[in-house]
Amino acid sequence: MEVEIDLKAENKEIVNRYRKLIKSVRPLMKNDDFKQIRLAFNTALEAHHEMRRKSGEPYIYHPIAVAQICVDEIGLGPTAVIAALLHDVVEDTDMELKDIEKLFGNKVTQIIDGLTKISGVFQQGSSQQAENFRKMLLTLSEDVRVILIKIGDRLHNMRTLESMPRNTQLKISSETIYLYAPLAHRLGLYSIKTELEDLYLKYTEPEVYRDIANKIQQTKATRNKFIKEFVEPIDEALGNSGFDYTIKGRPKSIHSIWNKIKKQNVTFEEIYDLFAIRIILNTELEDEKAACWRVYSIVTDFYKPNPDRLRDWVSTPKSNGYESLHVTVMSKTGQWVEVQIRTERMDAIAEKGFAAHWKYKETHKDQNHNRETGIESWITKVREMIESQDGSAIEFVNDFRSNLFAEEVYVFTPKGDLKILPAGSTALDFAFDIHTKVGASCIGAKVNNKLVPISYKLHNGDQIEILTSSKQRPSEDWLKIAITSKAVSKIKDSLKELKKLVAVDGREIVERKLKQLKLEINEEVMAELRSFFDCKTNLDFFYYVGKGRIDPGQIKKFREEKVKRDIQSPLVIHDTKSFEKEIKKVRGVDADQLLIGENMDKIDYTLARCCNPIPGDDVFGFVTVIEGIKIHRTSCPNAVELMSNYGYRIIKAKWTSQKELAFLAGLRITGTDRIGLVQDVTRVISNDLRVNMRSISIETDESIFEGKIMLFVHDTAHLEQLIQKLVLVDGIVKVDRFDT
């Protein structure tokens, strides 16, 4: 049945949304900005005229919404609004970049080029998402607005994901949690990062999301009463001290609560810090630090602080510009409460991140104006990383995540200069961060005046002096020690140079040997040599000869086999293996074989061992190159990475009733020990529910026990029934499933 569309009402709504956007951006407009925004709107409206989103709405709603997010939630100005309105026209319509340049100039064109996905055919084993992410990041060195608009685009797509098919929801959600939420966090966009994480959970674990959201709603009245009573004495004392301030109480995000439930293996009711109190001060720039500590003093006059939970990002801001003083205190009712103390400027940077940071920097010509801030230093590191990357796009994305989204460690040089490196960095990483030459000649370090090896892992507050030697050279073992992209890329560069020198010697040896055997060195012979000696590239082959790993005498054996093959009758292939072997000889050893049937009426699958899905679990299929289709749980630890990098290989999968089959699952039981407990547990499992156990192990520590049971069940409903029965056993406090 066709739905009748009220075009008049739609056009009215489009105009209303456009007017709302103009109202938001008007205070930031200069000169002919309005004329350019109107032209961008009309161009986008015309280009997307016939297009509709999956929800059935006119497509133009999307670019207007992205532009609105850029202004209201990220704090960008007119140029970003123009680019946001036009961000899909080159990708989805007949318009080209040269048309954009003619109408809007070079800057807008550059931003739109960064936002336009790469089209065309990708090599086997490569990832279109990773390639596009790399392309977008390459523009970071030119204009950070590309990334900020892309985050706005992703936020709106996540807000409207309801109408998309399930496999698309999983792919987009996983990309979001894998790349875009950490990127928003890194650029200081905390509220956007939080919403992206919550929306990810909404679409990948809908039941978990609804359960936590309902519990937050149910506890709202009690929480508000508690917050009111907790804040009362602080409010009075701040007022008496003459502070200009506001106090807010807010619950933690659904995703962060879910993380705590998983990591700490607790229930919703057992989480102690479900909300945070935020005190925001209006004070002069030069008084900020002193004011925050005065408020800390007032808060701790009423409530005892937890000394292990004090976080001072006022004295040392995070590298994304975040500044705040966090203290966890004990309330009168015995609950821990997190109190965040910050100024209005700090709050603006925490909410709007990068854009607020720049606005503040432009309007406050303070003594720190010329000093590179944490967020600028981070962007400098991104640029360095982009320039030094020559691997695959997937390597690049994984490097990017591990180096630039990681937690940080704060260390000092011998002169007292602060250096911020990813957590887990070693003395070798620190040496390369100082200078490439220092890193390449590093033989060890003195940490707090104590001699340590290059593999020493840095801790907060360490003071490091690097020891060098002119005879030292990087080795392949160093790649197991270094974790920062700068150190790894510089070590690889050094090893490549060394490899090339060795390969030159190896080539001379090979040429002499081939000459003796009356063989010419050409590409066909080199391909056969690579295949015979199982080497990926010519450089590898020459290097192994130069290093002595391949004996030049074996080339004679290769020559003999070649002669035999050449005089044999035409090749007859009877099976797949010999076909693959012959293909390898022609294409080289690294070519993946991907055989796809024409009529796959029945598709075989295997269950992924990393998450052992059972019927009833929310699952998806992943098309592997060698092992066909593998079924994973959507909550599988590997799911996010698979869907982020290989979204095009994800297929929908749903269980049909398979009661006759049994699937392996693991249960963890905890409680207080008593005589006969194990007997009662096994009775429930074996007799009452007739479930087969594969193994059971129970450890007791001073009358507290923890048991792990591996058993076979039909589906999640069967497993849930078993959990409910076990919880009723006397002495058992908790039963939960664990990944086997």
Specify the DSSP class assigned to residue 162.
G
Beta strands in 673-719 (DSSP E): 692-701, 704-713
Token duo for residue 488 = 């790894």
Specify the DSSP class assigned to residue 619.
E
> HSE of 114 in the Cβ direction (CA atoms, 13 Å)?
25
Annotation marks residue 462 as catalytic: no
Residues across the chain: 740
Q: Any residues with CB less than 8 A from the CB of 365 and at least 6 apart, and which?
A: none
Token duo for residue 543 = 């290097």
Per DSSP, the three-state class of 481 is: helix
Catalytic residue (choose from 6, 32, 91, 560):
91
Specify the DSSP class assigned to residue 657.
P
Token duo for residue 119 = 């089209």
Q: In angstroms, what CA-CA distances link 248 with 224, 245, 281? A: 11, 10, 12
| Measured distance CA(25)–CA(34) in Å, rounded | 9
Report the first-to-last Cα separation within the chain, whole angstroms: 48
| Measured distance CA(691)–CA(68) in Å, rounded | 56
Give the CA-trace dihedral at 188, 173, 135, 493, to 10 degrees: 80
Residue 371 Rama label (left phi>0; alpha psi -120 to 50; beta): beta
Token duo for residue 348 = 């603006």
| Measured distance CA(682)–CA(297) in Å, rounded | 56
Per DSSP, the three-state class of 50 is: coil
H helices then E strands: how many in the chain? 30, 19
Annotation marks residue 92 as catalytic: yes
Catalytic residue (choose from 10, 92, 408, 706):
92
Residues with a catalytic annotation lie at: 91-92
